[in-house]
Structure 1
Amino acid sequence: MKSAKLMMCGGRHLASRAIPAAPLASTTGGVRGAATEARAVEKQPQQQRGARTSASFTLNLFRGHFEPAQVFPFPEALSDDQRQMLQELVPPVEKFFQEVNDPAKNDHDAQIEEGTLAGLWELGAFGLQVPAELGGLGLTNTQYARLVEVVGAHDLGVGITLGAHQSIGFKGILLFGTPQQRSKYLPRVTGGEYAAFCLTEPASGSDAGSIKTRAVLSPDGKNFILNGSKIWISNGGIAEIMTVFAQTPIEKDGKTVDKVTAFIVERSFGGVSSGPPENKMGIKCSNTTEVYFEDVPVPVENVLGGVGNGFKVAMNILNNGRFGMAAALAGTQRAALRQAAEHAATRVQFGKRLAEFTGVQEKLARMAMLQYTTETLAYMVSGNMDTGAQDYHVEAAISKVFASDSAWTVVDEAIQILGGMGFMKATGLERVLRDLRIFRIFEGTNDILRLFVALTGIQFAGSHLQELQRAFKNPTAHLGLIFSEAGRRAAGAVGLARGADTRALVHDDLRAPAAELARLVMEHGRTVEGLLRKHGRRVVDCQQPLNRLAAAVIDTYTTAAVLSRATRAARLGLPSAAQELRLAAAWADDALGRVPALLAATRDTRAQEQYDRLSKLGTEVAANGGQPTPNPLNL
């Protein structure tokens, strides 16, 4: 995808000219890809651009509409048979990681022990979601989440090896493969052959559309000849089967243009080689290398998802697997919290156990809130996927951002509670902290994903506002739409609007935060409309207010999710119900308390002055090559 030239944020535009009209497909493609997608859609005929509808809570949040379908009630995605299968699978996997896998040795040796790998293949851990008839276990997304959570609690390096193989490595074959591709390759990737996902290049990280690797059809039309290189590829040195993305020339409107295409590439095709394993900060036992392609003949039948559709394939693979990261990091947080809690309950200082100090109590409580929320997001997204939801990509992105940020905080606080002991290798927490750092970077950096959340929602809202603008051009034919919108806005303007009635959705103890949630949903809609009217298409460049908007969206969605989960616990009479209600209420109080200030920061004059000040400072730092001011001694 070619990059659109970015303009500076600011200025006013007529809303009728400036409102984006379609959902963004770009995640790792970043802001440039998003802008290109939006401008391309705006060129379509108006009759093709009606307001989108969706059951997504988060997308509707940008319109100020409370949509409970994918949040309330909490999804129940397991049948009795699937639950029974999990009950049989989880104990041996837990036992394996407790008794066979040695995370400290894996980290020290920078590779997974052969016995551990053999055991994982024997357990079927490398083919969890492949249909049973093709060699896998045939698990649903929710079942997969539970097993990934176990892995995340024990060894993130092993988790990356497993995830790079199936969550992204051959996931494209599961999602887009032809029957012939699935029957040929899926038995192999469940039977001992590793897979890898090859997208990132030395000059193409978040801007995935700018890749340079190329594939050109051979003169006889039987193969694509692949040339290029990829960098930081998990399983890159051991993979036999790879999903590779390359630019291919295609004919469009009488011109030859480059479009990204996905290919299934075998190392055995010839011309595929790998560099030495990278020396990394964390996840050291996972194999990470550069991969080189030199005149690799790839059969035309190995095109995945159609020529020129590679960007769509890549984005769907990444979107489809992000909930797994949240599940793994929920397990990581649970393990770290257990370690911190056990230490706090036994360590005595100043004549008291650490757990008796209110400062430590607050730390443990906030760690528990973050773990509970991360876990909730993982199973809400996987449950939505399993029950047939179509729009879950924004929620999946939120789960990845929230989980990776929260896991870092929880493990860091666990180290703090253990004090000097937590800093020692023996406790294992320093390894976990090192392993965690990459999760905020790969499979879409958190910075890009926050912008993806904001811009995707803004375009969804924009299609509705454009529909309203068209209605005013022919008011007689659209009186219902106009009057309903006018009534809603008038009520909000005079303070009469209270939001959706949420009383039937939540437990009695949670009615107050649920009512506040519903009120803030309307405030989101007004904020988004204000941003669009002020900045128009240039909103894509207003990253500072967009980041605040994304933060508000994350706080709002996570609150809805935990209110739903805690209500379920109370409805089912679970032993944990009282604790879950407290956790949900505590998270809602914190998260919803932040939302008004975050939304205000997208439009406040003082906030804009600070954004301008920070931009200028950042520009000066970059131009100076570091801190632009001298030491106070001038020495």
Structure 2
Amino acid sequence: MKSAKVILGANRCLQNKLVPLYSCRAASTAGKDAVRQSDSFTLNLFRGQLQPAQVFPYPEVLSADQKQVLQELVPPVERFFSEVNDPARNDQDASIEPETLNGLWDLGAFGLQVPCELGGLGLSNTQYARLVEVVGAHDLGVGITLGAHQSIGFKGILLFGTPEQKQKYLTRVTNREYAAFCLTEPASGSDAGSIKTRAVLSPCGTKYILNGSKIWISNGGTAEIMTVFAQTPVEKDGQTVDKVTAFIVERAFGGVSSGPPENKMGIKCSNTAEVYYEDVPVPIENVLGGVGNGFKVAMNILNNGRFGMAAALAGTQRAAIRQAAEHAAARTQFKRKLMDFTAIRDKLAHMCMLQYVTESLAYMVSGNMDAGCSDYHLEAAISKVFASDAAWLVVDEAIQILGGMGYMKATGLERVLRDLRIFRIFEGTNDILRLFVALTGIQFAGSSLKELQRAFKNPAAHLSLIFTEGARRAQRAVGLAPRADIGSLVAPELRGAAGELAAAVDQFGQAVEGTLVKYGKGVVEEQQVLNLLAAATIDIYTSAVVLSRASRAARLALPTAQEELQLASAWAREALGRVGPALAAARGEHDAHRRALSELGLRIATRGGQLSLNPLNL
């Protein structure tokens, strides 16, 4: 009798309160009335379901030939960055030395994923990640020059280009012509859909006339070939509306100019400049991905390249940890080595934990992509957010361990810290990406709840669905619902953590459902709640990833298996321990506190700064 009341209460609540959800353009659906299905771990997490397909086992995607290619490529790239590239000089001169650029072109570093027949090396995503990791360990400024060129600059041609476009342009971007991705404008940053640059079809119908400007464009002053996004008039339902279209633009078309290089906090050697377009004639055959599809093109380019940032920053962290560990082992204070102090040991252990998670994420996402998975966008976003936050903490702690020496330019860590700061901002700020993760996941969860809502409109025809879903919710409400068992998928030493992971997934699903019922489509305005859900998402997903990787190490009896098991267990304990409090806050247990903070922030903005006076009132 008690269960029946719970069923009826849950059904009535869903029927009366569920409203249409915020529509996230980045997530596709299978049809108006269809419930979207996916193998994505993160998407299913929002339904309270533990979907192991894309996490367990840890990806093994390289063939013997691909491994051999890496064995041949990695050593010379390592030697090049150790012996030829000078990161301190690049930073001081705010430019990359010509010898370094020529050497990178000779190595094929500017065309890592371009097919061999078009002049590139034809590497997979996982192979690309390994080489990017090497670059990230040595010089992030050079890494941005390389990444702006291929990870986003001409990536749209790789993903969406016609055979003719690929043949014409990929052969050039692998032969000393730089590429750039031109999206951001003075009044359009995170809100990419609000760009003002326009392209209008000429009267002859053979070309578009492009006018506008872009700011903060990496390689903007050097690029000969650019992926440019502009508003174009499109006929829709008998009306003319503006929609974003992507274009391949050559500087040689005429009307393209650049401003001086920006004076930046970090990544100084990478060229960053404004780019101006004045009556630029762009042939219609240079439309990329179809007229009006520019937003889709832009988002796919960014989603496709984010794992590369995690790979690069895994290398950055590894290098910083090595420097800190060597100093801790050599430096004597109070007649003891620094490594003998438990506070230093704790720092080093936590730094290694963060690096392990970052690296695990990078190769998990690249492996999923190489395996042909289509739903990896939330995981890629998580890898970028986590990696950029973790790298900042790791390098900051490395400086702390080195003390005054770490603050000096000679150690190089102050340059690395300056270089790192941009990673939490560009290619999707971490703040926006957290909202992207939460809102996309909520939309995915909401599609199944909307199906139940529709069922109530004709209950006689959908009794099975209504009672199945009602029973499931009732069992979960009273703690009787069975939880996913992934104990068999992890090493024996990690089965306890796997149980905690399953419990967290179930708890998370309940919190998301409660959020949907409480806020409906108004959830888009509840950024504090969304950030709490995103934080829990990241903690749960990263825990699953490291449990998978460490279990692989144990299964293969790798020399580092014991250390990996310790790192994974420690991270899962720490991360999963944060999930409960985050979800409690998301459910509204601290609503008054959140509202007070929000109101305080509004007053600070409207009054132009700190609200309190100096204690001396002077």
Deviations 1:50-78 (A, max 9, x none): 11100000000000001000000001110
Instruction: Provide the C-alpha distance between the structure 2 equivalents of 1:400 and 1:199, rounded to a whole number of angstroms.
Output: 19
Match of 1:440 in 2: 424
Q: Which amino acid aligns with 1:626?
A: G
Computed over aligned residues only, the root mean square deviation of the Cα atoms, in angstroms, reads: 1.5
Query: Does the CA contact (< 8 Å) of 1:517 and 1:560 recur in 2?
Result: yes
Match of 2:595 in 1: 612
Is 2:605 aligned against 1:630? no
Q: Which amino acid aligns with 2:26?
A: A
Deviates more, 1:479-488 or 1:269-278: 479-488
Match of 1:29 in 2: none
Tell me how many residue pairs correspond in the alignment.
Answer: 606
Q: Which amino acid aligns with 1:627?
A: Q
Is 2:219 aligned against 1:218? no
Query: Does the CA contact (< 8 Å) of 2:18 and 2:516 recur in 1?
Result: no
Is 2:591 aligned against 1:590? no
Match of 1:531 in 2: 515
Is 2:295 aligned against 1:311? yes
Query: Does the CA contact (< 8 Å) of 1:22 and 1:462 recur in 2?
Result: no
Is 2:72 aligned against 1:88? yes
Deviations 1:342-366 (A, max 9, x none): 1011111112111111111110000
Q: Which amino acid aligns with 1:165?
A: H
Instruction: Provide the C-alpha distance between the structure 2 equivalents of 1:478 and 1:383, rounded to a whole number of angstroms.
Output: 40
Match of 1:182 in 2: 166
Q: Secondary structure at the match of 1:390?
A: coil
Q: Secondary structure at the match of 2:292?
A: coil
TM-score (norm 2): 0.96
Q: Which amino acid aligns with 2:504?
A: L
Q: Which amino acid aligns with 1:18?
A: V
Query: Does the CA contact (< 8 Å) of 1:129 and 1:140 recur in 2?
Result: yes
Q: Secondary structure at the match of 1:513?
A: helix
TM-score (norm 1): 0.94
Instruction: Provide the C-alpha distance between the structure 1 equivalents of 2:531 and 2:384, rounded to a whole number of angstroms.
Output: 16
Instruction: Provide the C-alpha distance between the structure 1 equivalents of 2:553 and 2:20, rounded to a whole number of angstroms.
Output: 42
Q: Secondary structure at the match of 2:497?
A: helix
- The offset of 1:472, in angstroms, is 3.6
Query: Does the CA contact (< 8 Å) of 1:64 and 1:521 recur in 2?
Result: yes
Match of 2:95 in 1: 111
- The offset of 1:286, in angstroms, is 0.0
Match of 1:18 in 2: 19
Deviates more, 1:625-634 or 1:217-226: 625-634
Deviations 1:484-510 (A, max 9, x none): 433332222222335201111100000
Instruction: Provide the C-alpha distance between the structure 2 equivalents of 1:481 and 1:92, rounded to a whole number of angstroms.
Output: 60
The unaligned stretches of length 5 or more in structure 2 are: 1-12
Instruction: Provide the C-alpha distance between the structure 1 equivalents of 2:64 and 2:31, rounded to a whole number of angstroms.
Output: 46
Tell me: CA distance 1:238–1:183, structure 2 relative to 1, closer, same or farther (3 Å). same
Query: Does the CA contact (< 8 Å) of 1:228 and 1:294 recur in 2?
Result: yes
Query: Does the CA contact (< 8 Å) of 1:224 and 1:298 recur in 2?
Result: yes
Instruction: Provide the C-alpha distance between the structure 2 equivalents of 1:180 and 1:573, rounded to a whole number of angstroms.
Output: 48
Q: Secondary structure at the match of 1:321?
A: helix
Q: Which amino acid aligns with 1:241?
A: I
Is 2:472 aligned against 1:488? yes
Instruction: Provide the C-alpha distance between the structure 2 equivalents of 1:47 and 1:191, rounded to a whole number of angstroms.
Output: 44
Deviations 1:516-547 (A, max 9, x none): 10011111111111111111101001000100
Deviates more, 1:539-548 or 1:482-491: 482-491
Match of 2:342 in 1: 358
Match of 2:529 in 1: 545
Q: Secondary structure at the match of 1:327?
A: helix
Is 2:127 aligned against 1:143? yes
Candidates 489, 492, 512, aligned match of 1:508: 492
Instruction: Provide the C-alpha distance between the structure 1 equivalents of 2:20 and 2:547, rounded to a whole number of angstroms.
Output: 33
Candidates 574, 579, 604, aligned match of 1:621: 604
Is 2:221 aligned against 1:237? yes
- The offset of 1:585, in angstroms, is 0.2
- The offset of 1:127, in angstroms, is 0.1
Q: Which amino acid aligns with 1:332?
A: T
Q: Secondary structure at the match of 2:489?
A: coil
- The offset of 1:23, in angstroms, is 5.3
Deviations 1:82-125 (A, max 9, x none): 01111110000000000000000000000000000000000000
- The offset of 1:19, in angstroms, is 3.7
Query: Does the CA contact (< 8 Å) of 2:395 and 2:413 recur in 1?
Result: yes
Query: Does the CA contact (< 8 Å) of 1:213 and 1:246 recur in 2?
Result: yes
- The offset of 1:632, in angstroms, is 1.8
The unaligned stretches of length 5 or more in structure 1 are: 1-11, 27-36
Q: Secondary structure at the match of 1:431?
A: helix
Match of 2:394 in 1: 410
Instruction: Provide the C-alpha distance between the structure 2 equivalents of 1:501 and 1:479, rounded to a whole number of angstroms.
Output: 29
Map 1:161-176; keep pairs closer than 5 Å.
161-176=145-160
Identity %: 75
Instruction: Provide the C-alpha distance between the structure 1 equivalents of 2:218 and 2:416, rounded to a whole number of angstroms.
Output: 18
Instruction: Provide the C-alpha distance between the structure 1 equivalents of 2:421 and 2:582, rounded to a whole number of angstroms.
Output: 26
Query: Does the CA contact (< 8 Å) of 2:151 and 2:305 recur in 1?
Result: yes
Instruction: Provide the C-alpha distance between the structure 1 equivalents of 2:348 and 2:206, rounded to a whole number of angstroms.
Output: 61
Instruction: Provide the C-alpha distance between the structure 2 equivalents of 1:68 and 1:413, rounded to a whole number of angstroms.
Output: 34
Q: Which amino acid aligns with 1:572?
A: L
Match of 1:258 in 2: 242
Candidates 287, 302, 315, aligned match of 2:286: 302
Q: Secondary structure at the match of 2:106?
A: helix
Q: Secondary structure at the match of 1:196?
A: strand
Q: Which amino acid aligns with 2:19?
A: A
Higher relative contact order (CA 8 A, sep 6+): 1
Q: Secondary structure at the match of 2:55?
A: coil
Is 2:106 aligned against 1:122? yes
Match of 2:4 in 1: none
Is 2:440 aligned against 1:456? yes
Query: Does the CA contact (< 8 Å) of 2:318 and 2:355 recur in 1?
Result: yes
- The offset of 1:471, in angstroms, is 2.9
Match of 2:3 in 1: none
Q: Which amino acid aligns with 1:83?
A: K
- The offset of 1:16, in angstroms, is 6.0
Q: Which amino acid aligns with 1:118?
A: N
- The offset of 1:193, in angstroms, is 0.2
Q: Secondary structure at the match of 2:422?
A: helix
Q: Secondary structure at the match of 1:239?
A: coil
Query: Does the CA contact (< 8 Å) of 2:249 and 2:282 recur in 1?
Result: yes
Query: Does the CA contact (< 8 Å) of 1:15 and 1:536 recur in 2?
Result: no
